[in-house]
Amino acid sequence: MTGYGEAEAIGTSLSVLAEVRAVNNRYLKINFRSNDRVGKDETWVEKIVRRHIKRGTIHVQLTLVTEDQRNAFQINTATLNAYREALQDFHRQHPMDGHLTLGSLLNLPGVVEEATPEVNRDELGPLAEQALETAMRNLNDMRSVEGQTMGNDMLENINTIKSQLTQIEQRIPQVISAYTVRLRDRVTKILESFGTSIDAGDVAREVALFAERSDISEETVRLHSHLQQFCETMDATDSAGRRLEFVSQEMFRETNTIGSKANDTEISKFVIEIKAAIERIREMVQNLE
């Protein structure tokens, strides 16, 4: 799931701003960025992120802000004097109109440098961890809202599947009855052309064989069970994304079997609707925790 969280931890001489962004991914991937003064060690960052997140691509940005940020730049006087002397010598040898200004000298490389004040490392570490922990909690708060919306969408699809499955179950007796009529009519016409009659027992046996080949009662029972298991797993407080992904795969497998065994156009239409709903569910559960 996507989301964003930020937090700032303020100390006596510095503060740390943590920004965290999450985008969808079936697995966990962590991208960490910080300025040099915070450090590049990712071990502690990964440990904190993994406590809060199981799936997704997580972008972590840590920024250090010190009290003397206003004096963050300084003039390198040695470099400035070297530029000035070199330009004056050049001007003496090659006179030309114009004159040097402080503004033009300040734009030259190396004249203005970023100051690097001392950082209290004992204070920096705890502040960085505090900022990241809070940012991760804020991220999860936003993801929880998205998860609730996604959960409602999945329940709507589950209800669609249940509705289509009920229609399939109601349709099965009609399919067998229609097959019985078609079989009797077809065989009767053939036998009449030979001047003989049909044996009711033979028709009954053929209908029984058809009913056995087309029997999807086991598949429908298992699909009902998977639907119930899916809903129960959604209600669990623990991370359930991978389990829901497995259950949705089993739902799709049972639906495929129903479609291949049920020799009926109407049932095929219901199966297509169920498959479409399961596909929508599978896309969503891939991004759940």
Residue labelled with tokens 């709903």: 277
Q: Which domain holds residue 234?
A: 147-285
What is the CATH classification number for the domain harbouring 135?
A: 3.30.230.10
- Higher pLDDT pick, 71 / 112: 112
The token duo for 14 is 């510095």
User: Mean pLDDT score of the chain, rounded to an integer?
Assistant: 81
Calpha distance 168→264 (Å, rounded): 10
Residues 205, 267, single domain; the answer is yes
CATH number of the domain where residue 279 is located: 1.20.140
Query: How many Cβ atoms from other residues are within 10 Å of residue 278's Cβ?
Result: 24
Same domain, 211 and 268: yes
Tens-digit pLDDT profile for residues 104-121? 777 778 777 666 656 677
Q: Specify whether 14 is located in the same domain as 51.
A: yes
Domain boundary among 104, 127, 144: 144
Same domain, 157 and 258: yes
CA 130 to chain centre: 26
pLDDT tens, position by position, 218-254: 888 999 999 999 998 888 756 677 889 999 999 999 9
pLDDT for the residue 240: 77
Q: What is the pLDDT of residue 98?
A: 64
Provide the token pair at 4: 């964003």
* For range 48-56, the mean pLDDT: 90
Same domain, 226 and 165: yes
**57/169 same-domain check:** no
176-184 average pLDDT score: 65
Q: What is the pLDDT of residues 270-285, one digit of tens each?
A: 999 999 999 999 988 8
Q: Are residues 127 and 208 in the same domain?
A: no
pLDDT of 277:
96
In terms of domains, do 162 and 211 share one?
yes
pTM, full prediction: 0.63
User: Considering 60, 94, 114, which residue would you say is the last residue of a domain?
Assistant: 114
Give the pLDDT band of residue 174 (cuts 50, 70, 90).
Answer: confident
Average pLDDT score over residue span 159-180:
84
Rounded Cα distance between 142 and 98, Å, is: 60
Q: What is the pLDDT of residue 239?
A: 65
φ, ψ at 216 (rounded to 5°): -120, 20
Higher-scoring residue by pLDDT: 227, 102: 227
151 and 264 in a single domain? The answer is yes
Which DSSP string do the residues of the chain spell out, in sequence order?
--EEEEEEEE-SSEEEEEEEEEE--SSEEEEEEE-TTT----HHHHHHHHHH-SSEEEEEEEEEEEGGGGG-EEE-HHHHHHHHHHHHHHHHHS--S----HHHHHTSTTTEEE------HHHHHHHHHHHHHHHHHHHHHHHHHHHHHHHHHHHHHHHHHHHHHHHHHHHHHHHHHHHHHHHHHHHHHHHHTTT----HHHHHHHHHHHHHHT--HHHHHHHHHHHHHHHHHHH-SS--HHHHHHHHHHHHHHHHHHHHH---HHHHHHHHHHHHHHHHHHHHHTT--
Query: Is residue 237 domain-shared with residue 276, that is, in the same domain?
Result: yes
Q: Which two tokens stand for residue 96?
A: 């030309």
Same domain, 15 and 59: yes
Q: How many domains does the chain fold into? A: 3
CA dist 27 and 271 (Å) reads 31
**Rounded to whole angstroms, how far apart are CA atoms 213 and 211?**
6
Same domain, 140 and 101: no
Query: In this predicted model, what pLDDT tens digit does every residue of 119-144 receive, in sequence order?
Result: 677 788 899 999 999 999 999 999 88
Q: 89 is written with which tokens?
A: 């010598």
